[in-house]
Each structure stands twice: as C-alpha cells, then as structure tokens.
Amino acid sequence: MTYMHIGKDFTPPDVEGKVTGAARYAEDFKKDGMVFARMLTSPIPAGRVVNIDASAALAMPGVVGIFTADDLPPSAPPANPALAKEYVTYIGQPILAVAAESDLIAEEALAKIVVEYQRRPFVVDPLDTLTEGGPDPYPMGNTLIRNSGEAAAGTTASGTDVGRIKWSIDQVTAFRNGREPTGAEFGSEWEYGDVAARFAECTTVIEEPFVTIGQPHHSLESRTSMAYWENGKCYFHGSLQSHTVGHDVLAGMLEIDPANLVFINENTGGGFGSKIFPYPNMAITGRFARQLNRPVQLRITRAEEFFIGSARSGMQGWIKIGLKDTGRVGAVDVIIVNDAGSGGGGSGGSSAEHISIMFQPEAMRFRGVSMYTNTTPRGAQRGPGQNEMAAVLAPMMDKAANMAGIDRVAFRRINAPRADGKIGERQGGLSSSYMPESIDKAAQMFNWEEKIAKPRQISATKVRGIGVGQGFHTAGSNGYDGLIRIAPDGTIYLHTGVGNLGTYSYAGITRAAAEALQCNWDNCVIVHGNEALNLPHSTYQGGSNTMFTETRSSHVAALDIIEKMKEIAMAEFGGTIDDYSIGGERVFLTSDSSKGMSYGEAAQKAIEMGGKYSGMEYPDNIHRTTQRSVQAMQGTGLIGVAKDTLPREGAVPGMAIAFVEIELDTETGKFDITDYSAVAECGTVVHPQGLSQAMNGGGVWGFGMAAYERHVYDPQNGLPANVGLYQSKPPTYLDVPVTMNTAGMDLPDPQSPVGAKGIGEPAQGCAVAALMSAFTDALDGHLFNRTPVTADMIVNHIAQNGHNTGNLKTNTF
C-alpha cells in the first residue's frame, strides 16, 4: 500500500531540543518560592522505625518542614510505600523528606535527623528465603498472594498480601543443582496439552538449570518532581513514560478530584518500564507542597534513583525441553523462582509465555513462585520475563537442536509462530505473525549459510561464535481516545496523551491521523506533554503497545473529523456524505471539486455551527480526561474526537530475530561483535529512522544484558554494590559494533488501520539471545546457564579452574 506519511522519515519536534540540550525535564522547572525536599533513606535492610528525632534539623535556619509516613495514607505490605515506617524492607528505602530553602540546607538537615530503628532478619537470595527455616523479608512472609481487596486510599497497590511459601532443604538443594524439586509448592502454575504424553514422543530431551541476574533501570532522568498549588489545582512536573493514562492514578495518590490536577511532562529521560504509571514518591511531592503551601521540588539523586527506581527481577529456574524427530518442540516443562525484591512481582509467567509463542510447544507446563527479598523493589523492565528467558533459552535450544542434528535456524523456522500461532496458558490466537518470513529475511541479511560454515578457530587465541536469537513482547492494546482540532487558519493540531519516553512514538502515532487526513505534515502541530494543552486519554506505554494502540486512536479521531467536515460541506453544498471526498486539505464534492472548502474554512464553519462540530457535544464513551480536554477547546475550531472501538482479537505480537557473529579472545574473555543483523516483525514500518533507533538501542541493551550489566548484593549486610551507573556497567560505545544491520519485515498487521505493531522489547530480547547463543557456539557448546556471561566467567571456563559461579544465584557476580 502506498502511503503519504506512513513509512516515511520525519523529524519529531523534540529532536532539536534533545540534541542542543534545550529540552527541559522535571528537574529543570523552578517556581518562585520553591523549596527543595530531600529524602532520608534506610541504612538497614529490614526492620521498623521506632522513633524519629528531627528537632535539630527543624531548628536550622532555612529548614521549612519534614514529611514522614504519618503524613501519608496507611499502606500495607507488599505495597511499595512512598515512605516506610513499620516495614523497612531494603537499604535505601525512603523514610522521610525534609524541605529547606536550598538543596545544601536540606542535605545538612538530613545529617541532623536521628532515626531509631529496630532491626529484623533480612535475606537477599530468593532461594534462601524459600528454604524452610530461612529468613523472611517481611515479618509475615516471603511471597505475594492475591486477594480481592481494594487499594488503600492514596496508594496504587491492591489485591495483594504477603504470604509464605517454603521448600524443604532437599527440594532447594535439588533445584540449586539443576534438578526438578519434586513436590515443591508454587505460587502459580499452568499447563496446556498432555505434557507427559508429548515428552514420551520426543527423541531429544534436555534438562538445564538457569539464572538471570536483575538489572537496575537506572533511568538517566531520576525521579525528581516538582509540584505547586494554585487556585485549588495541583500543577505537577514529573517524569513518566505514559502521560494522561497516569492522570487519575496520580490524582488518587494526592486524593484530589482529577479535574484539579495538571500533569506536565514534555520529555522523559528514560523509564524502561519503571515509569509506566505514577510511582510512590510522587505522592510526597504533591502532598508536601500542599502541606507547606509552597512549591516543592523533591530532588532524587543518582544513588536514590538506584534504590527507588526499580530493577528487573532476577530469576532462577529449571527447564526440560523435548524435541520430536521432526524438529518440532513437543513439550516444555519449566520452573521459575523469581526475585521480586522488596516489592513488585516476578515475571515468571511472562518468561513462560515467551517459550510458548517463540517455539510453539505442543504441550507445556509452567510452575513459578515469586519470592520477596530485602533488595530494591522490582518492576517491569523492557520485556520483563520474556527477555531474560530469551537470553537463557537461546543457547539451550541451540543445544537441543544440535543434539537432534538440526540446523539452528531451520529449527527456529520449524517452530516459529505463523498466523495461526498460539500463545500462553490459554493458547489464544495472534493478530498476525510473519515470523517465518522474518527468520528468512534476517538469515539472508546475515548470510547464515556462509557464516555457519566458517571455521570456529580464527587464531591461537581467537575463536568465532555464531549466534541466533529471538525476542517477543505483546505489542498492542485498544480502547483509548483520539483527539484532533483544526483551527480556522487551517492548522491541524494532533493532540496526544502519549508520553514522550524518548522513542518518538508519541510523534509517530500522529502520522496515522495525518495519513487519514491526507494533509501536509508542515501544517500539523503535535500537542503533547502538558495537560493544560488539552490532551486525550491515551494508552499506557509499556509492552511496546503504543504504535498499534495509538495509531488506531489517531485514526478514529481522523475519521471522525473527516466525517464532520463532510457534513459541514454537505450543509453548504447539499448531497449526501458519500458524495464528498477530501484531498489537498480540502473537502469537496467528488463530482465537482470546485464545490468545497478548505480544512480551515470547515473549522470556521464548525465554530459557527457549534454542537459536535466545535466540541460543544462529544461522544458519551470517551474518557473523562478527554471530555475535559474537549470542553476546554469548545468553540475554538473543528473537533475530531473518538474512542477506538475498532475490532481487535488475539494477542498482538511484536517479534524480532537477530544474528550475531563474535570473535572471542580466549586469553582475556573479551569479545568483539563483528556482525549484527536483526529483523523486526513489527507490522508496517511507520517511521524507518525510529525503527532503526529502536532496534539499535534495544540491541545495545541486549548486549549489556548478555555480557555486562549486574545487580549485586552483599548477603552479609544487604548492601548493594551497584548504586552508580559505572558500577552497573551498561555497555559503552566501545563495547558494541559500529554498524548494526537492522530492518523491518514491513508486512501489515490486519488489526491496525496502518498495519503497525510495536517493537521496543523484542529489539533487546533478540540481541541478548543471539549473543548468548554466540558465546555457546564459540565455546564448543558450553552452556553458562546464566546471564550475564562476563569476561571472568569465560576465563575461568577456559582455564577449567572450577571456579565459575559455584551455586548459581541471583544478586551476585
């Protein structure tokens, strides 16, 4: 299909600001009379606050107030409280905030506050708390259980309690040693097909243990926020991935009418899943500002961002994989113990889902348990569950394929999801899948046949590794609102409540409206980032779903405004709506294009006609956020507004496949990536440069997950070792290839009006999987059974000194 805008590069309006440094983030906003708030955080991994003596701090000149857990609604575990009191569950957990006239005074005041703690036992290894007799991270237990409860006022968590699951020492020992823990209790289980029967039909069966370490999100923009109150309204500068979808949540945290909140967030410096919805410390900023009746900036340091900024859940597991003689995956049995930190949840179910879609096993069983530990709270991080499973699964599937004598790419093609593919426990359908085609395209880009035939030994100290891996994440939702206004001067304002999380998707999705309107892009203005500018209720931005979801809502808003323009023209020139067309930013009689009007003239007419045309009336089914925005724009132009009610069925899969060639130095454990080729199965490509950026960025992060990034805790005292960026070791420019070859499959998903699906998470998943696969290939099929695989592990392996990892663990080297 030939498009006017879709599939064409364009420059999103915020690019210049990002490049020049002019772009403003939450911390850049100041307000007259603003005070600085800083947090005091816990030095102990577990316990309770007995007493706070802030008298000396409050007596300091320039100190204006203190804010503690008593100033917030009560919060019960395992909800992650903004400020802890009765349940302190990790080092670095915020205890209180103090506000002062300057940042320095606030810091000095913190040093004068004396907090008395009562310590409790703590644990940093999920298997330690899972073991009978082992310490629990909370006094009441070690795992999340579901209930039917509502969230407490001002909190975001509901339906959860802390329960307790324990395994016998024998079961834990078996699990640590890579065997099935027979008879163990799990928090969640599912199964489809007859697993035992399918295994019986398999001719190749492997069993392997695995561990993936967590990674902190370390968003470059920390969670600093600033709030002030004027005329009963709270103006809140914050940093979220999503925008308007978080509005009501934040209003709830502040216990105010949503109509009295204005959330401003033009640019977001990274969230990676940790800023999808409002997070706890935002409650402090807004409430403290109200309490002090002064603007408050709660500034979050780099170290604090580590503590409260979330981290990927590590996982420890066991898997049994069976292949039939046809190469089909007959059965998979997988057990996952997740590290949920002090709050949040593990992603075991999502990990299992990755297996189910990528290899379409005929029968599968998943058993999982998510254990709390006294480490930082865990949350969604780019492909939570799917990507860490992609990492450890790729070399294990390689092993199975090699044992079965099947080429690794052929094996993936045999098992790849097709249009009739299934996913997960319920074996639901897919909106589309061109994964076999994507595998072929990527293999051709990489020149797999030639590369796989190359000798592995390059020199006395260099070996070659060839890897292949796949990534997946659900990439679409529906039911959100689109909003467009055309002004009498003909300017087309494309309003979006999508957050600007740095991917330019907020801009890309508006191209679907421009496409439908067949308008000149130069006449379009993207309105976003500030709710005072009247934004619609838009999707949450997690799970790569923005492109699919919001091209739909942009499209329906465009259809609405086109229909209204035709009705306006019809009122002027007669006929029926079907007699009219659009083109050249005019609406006109198809039979006589001289009878028509420009979009601007239609907008002027809309103001005169009122009613639904100028926003005086609007559909009942749009969200109240969108309703307020329409109300605020009444009479200012032609308003197009609609909720996405287009048909949708099945999961929307974003998928990708990558190939990696490495040269590995057997003396140092270091490696160079000499080729990286990846193809995104992301439906129609909306913005080629945006796709390239997404694939490159995801690829780099995948390399980091495979070989560099870490999450290390000392079990002696609960201290984290990687609170700084350099300690967490994300890859640098010098650790990744100069050129990364990426492409989109560019075949449309039938459930998107422009065929688009998202690709964020799979871009990382395919890269980490391919690099892990390459390590194993370079080292004669050796499985490390964990990520990351660091240089020291490779050196140890080659030296055969027996010092690799010992017991596999999360939260360690």
Q: Is 92 in the site for another protein (CB under 8 A)?
A: yes
Q: Is 735 in the site for another protein (CB under 8 A)?
A: yes
| Pairwise CA distance, residues 387 & 759, whole Å | 13
Binds another protein (CB under 8 A): choice among 231, 576, 733, 780:
733
Choose one: 34-42, 66-74, 328-336, 463-471; the region binding another protein (CB under 8 A).
34-42
Question: Which strand (E) or helix (H) includes residue 322?
Answer: strand 315-323
Least separation in angstroms between CB 790 and another protein: 6
Within 638-677, the residues that bind another protein by CB under 8 A are: 665, 667-670
What token pair was written down for 60? 């300091």
Task: Give 412 or 786: the residue with its C-beta nearer to another protein.
Answer: 786
Binds another protein (CB under 8 A): choice among 1, 19, 453, 734:
734
Binds another protein (CB under 8 A): choice among 719, 741, 747, 782:
719
| Cβ neighbour number for residue 737 with a 10 Å cutoff | 18
Task: Give 233 or 670: the residue with its C-beta nearer to another protein.
Answer: 670
Helix and strand numbers (H, E) in the chain are: 23, 28
Task: Give 51 or 576: the residue with its C-beta nearer to another protein.
Answer: 51
Choose one: 185-193, 388-396, 713-721, 746-754; the region binding another protein (CB under 8 A).
713-721
Q: Are strands 204-212 and 786-787 parallel, antiparallel or unpaired?
A: parallel
- 302 CB-near residues (< 8 Å, 6+ apart): 222, 723, 724, 725
Cα 80-83-89 angle, rounded to 5 deg:
55
* CA-based max dimension of the chain: 87
Choose one: 296-304, 442-450, 604-612, 618-626; the region binding another protein (CB under 8 A).
296-304
Task: Give 193 or 715: the residue with its C-beta nearer to another protein.
Answer: 715
Least separation in angstroms between CB 459 and another protein: 9
745 strand-pairing partners = none
Task: Give 103 or 180: the residue with its C-beta nearer to another protein.
Answer: 103
What token pair was written down for 518? 């067949």
Collapse the DSSP code of 208 into the 3-class scheme (helix H, G, I; strand E, B; otherwise coil) and give the result.
Answer: strand
Binds another protein (CB under 8 A): choice among 71, 86, 107, 585:
107
| Pairwise CA distance, residues 813 & 362, whole Å | 36
Task: Give 591 or 732: the residue with its C-beta nearer to another protein.
Answer: 732
Q: Is 339 in the site for another protein (CB under 8 A)?
A: no
Q: Is 121 in the site for another protein (CB under 8 A)?
A: no
| Pairwise CA distance, residues 662 & 280, whole Å | 43
Residues in the chain: 813
8 A C-beta contact, residue 316 and residue 167: no
Q: Is 732 in the site for another protein (CB under 8 A)?
A: yes
- DSSP class of residue 101 equals S
Please choose, from the candidates 742, 750, 602, the residue with its C-alpha nearest in 3D space to the C-alpha of residue 679.
742
Task: Give 495 or 729: the residue with its C-beta nearer to another protein.
Answer: 729
Task: Give 537 or 786: the residue with its C-beta nearer to another protein.
Answer: 786
Q: Is 717 in the site for another protein (CB under 8 A)?
A: yes
Q: How many residues bind another protein (CB under 8 A)?
A: 54
Q: Which amino acid is at 112?
A: K
Within 490-529, the residues that bind another protein by CB under 8 A are: none
Reported as half-sphere exposure (CB side, CA atoms, 13 A), residue 540 has a value of 15
| Tokens 């299909």, residue located | 1
- Taking residues 52 to 91 in sequence order and writing x for each that binds another protein by CB under 8 A, - otherwise, the string is ---------------------------------------x
Least separation in angstroms between CB 279 and another protein: 17
Least separation in angstroms between CB 347 and another protein: 25
Q: Is 708 in the site for another protein (CB under 8 A)?
A: yes
| Cβ neighbour number for residue 684 with a 10 Å cutoff | 22
Within 305-324, the residues that bind another protein by CB under 8 A are: 307
Please choose, from the candidates 468, 469, 456, the residue with its C-alpha nearest in 3D space to the C-alpha of residue 780.
456
8 A C-beta contact, residue 389 and residue 319: no
Binds another protein (CB under 8 A): choice among 71, 86, 103, 585:
103
Least separation in angstroms between CB 84 and another protein: 13
- Taking residues 461 to 490 in sequence order and writing x for each that binds another protein by CB under 8 A, - otherwise, the string is x-----------------------------
Task: Give 552 or 809: the residue with its C-beta nearer to another protein.
Answer: 809
- DSSP class of residue 378 equals B
Binds another protein (CB under 8 A): choice among 13, 43, 163, 650:
43
| Pairwise CA distance, residues 286 & 67, whole Å | 11
What token pair was written down for 357? 């879609």
Least separation in angstroms between CB 38 and another protein: 8
Task: Give 304 or 550: the residue with its C-beta nearer to another protein.
Answer: 304
| Pairwise CA distance, residues 188 & 345, whole Å | 12
Binds another protein (CB under 8 A): choice among 56, 104, 200, 571:
104
| Pairwise CA distance, residues 127 & 316, whole Å | 9
Within 770-799, the residues that bind another protein by CB under 8 A are: 790-793, 795-796, 798-799
Distances 261 to 27, 60, 541, 704 between C-alpha atoms, Å: 19, 33, 20, 39
Binds another protein (CB under 8 A): choice among 6, 26, 39, 251:
39
Beta-strand ranges (E) seen in 571-646 are: 580-583, 586-589, 592-598, 638-643
Please choose, from the candidates 92, 69, 91, the residue with its C-alpha nearest in 3D space to the C-alpha of residue 82.
69
Q: Is 180 in the site for another protein (CB under 8 A)?
A: no
Q: Is 726 in the site for another protein (CB under 8 A)?
A: yes
Binding site for another protein (CB under 8 A): 38-43, 91-92, 103-104, 107-108, 110-111, 301-304, 307, 461, 665, 667-670, 708, 712-717, 719, 721, 726-727, 729, 731-735, 790-793, 795-796, 798-799, 801, 803, 812-813
